[in-house]
Amino acid sequence: MARYALALTEALVAGHGDLVERVLISPDLPAPDGIETLSDSGVLTTTRDWPETGGCYHAMAPFDPDTRLADLWPAVVTARRMQLVVTVYDLIPDALPDVYLADPGRRRRYRARRELVRCADHVVTISQRTALDVEQHLGINQRKVTVIGTACGAEFVPPTSLAGAADAARAAVGGLGPAWVLYNGAVEPRKNTETLVRAYAELPAAVRDRWQLVIVCALRPLERNHFEVMARQLGIEGAWCSPAMSMTRRWWP
């Protein structure tokens, strides 16, 4: 989501710079990397106040649980009589509340952010499925919802050399073999990652010997240990690459 937010913001500034007054980033988070284009444009600010009235304020991560509501929806937005637009990526906690909203504190924070979305003048979603969920779970009329979809950033291009790309991957990831099957996502109940590992263990040994299973995601130490123990119990610890811990710096414009 952070990469998507950055790429969309850069595209808006590049293609419609006359409409972008400011790009607000949180002063409470570490300075993000890779935003030189926005820095050079002069639109970046960490100040939640500017003098003009009217316009539109676009909150690109209204459900971020680690950001205060006062930061997601600054008082200046109301004072300036700005239109509030929010981007909703999914409403999975509404679909699986027993999994994602069991903790009372997390449930309160999520419900507060649901109200923020309900108060928005317009909602942007990345899929028609999410647009329907916004209507079903939040009661928002589809006239207030626009589906814009997603696209690949310019950096996602086929390599000039598959062999060179494979060598670079092996140099970056310890234990990577000659050929692999890649899963790139998150370790969450809805992702069925454990089922993937068990299914891999059911494959013929000749297939596992040829194709290594590689799981790339952010893992806490206990989660990593869980999958390592699981691999040993299934007898596939030599046929897979231990999940890589990759914690990236978050940035929400």
User: pLDDT per position in the chain (253 positions), as tens?
Assistant: 888 988 999 999 999 989 998 898 888 877 778 888 888 888 888 888 777 788 899 999 999 888 888 888 988 888 888 999 999 999 999 999 998 999 999 999 999 999 999 999 999 999 999 999 999 999 999 999 999 988 888 888 899 999 999 999 988 888 888 899 999 888 888 889 999 999 999 999 999 989 999 888 888 889 888 988 998 999 887 655 554 443 333 333 3
Do residue 139 and residue 206 come from a single domain? no
The Cα diameter of the chain in Å comes to: 67
Do residue 54 and residue 119 come from a single domain? yes
Does some domain include residue 44? Answer: yes
Do residue 61 and residue 180 come from a single domain? no
**3-class secondary structure, 170:** helix
Cβ proximity of 214 and 246 under 8 Å: no
Does some domain include residue 249? Answer: no
Does some domain include residue 71? Answer: yes
Do residue 140 and residue 215 come from a single domain? no
229 is in which domain, residue-wise? 162-241
Do residue 80 and residue 199 come from a single domain? no
Cβ proximity of 225 and 233 under 8 Å: no
Does some domain include residue 10? Answer: yes
Do residue 117 and residue 32 come from a single domain? yes
Domain count, the chain: 2
Does some domain include residue 152? Answer: no
Do residue 37 and residue 143 come from a single domain? yes
Enumerate the H helices of 17-74 as residue ranges: 36-41, 69-72
Write out the two tokens for 183.
Answer: 């899963």
**What is this structure's pTM?**
0.81
Q: Among 88, 121, 147, where does a domain finish?
A: 147
Do residue 63 and residue 142 come from a single domain? yes
Does some domain include residue 43? Answer: yes
Stated as kind and residue range, the H or E segment containing 240 is: strand 240-245
CATH number at residue 193: 3.40.50.2000
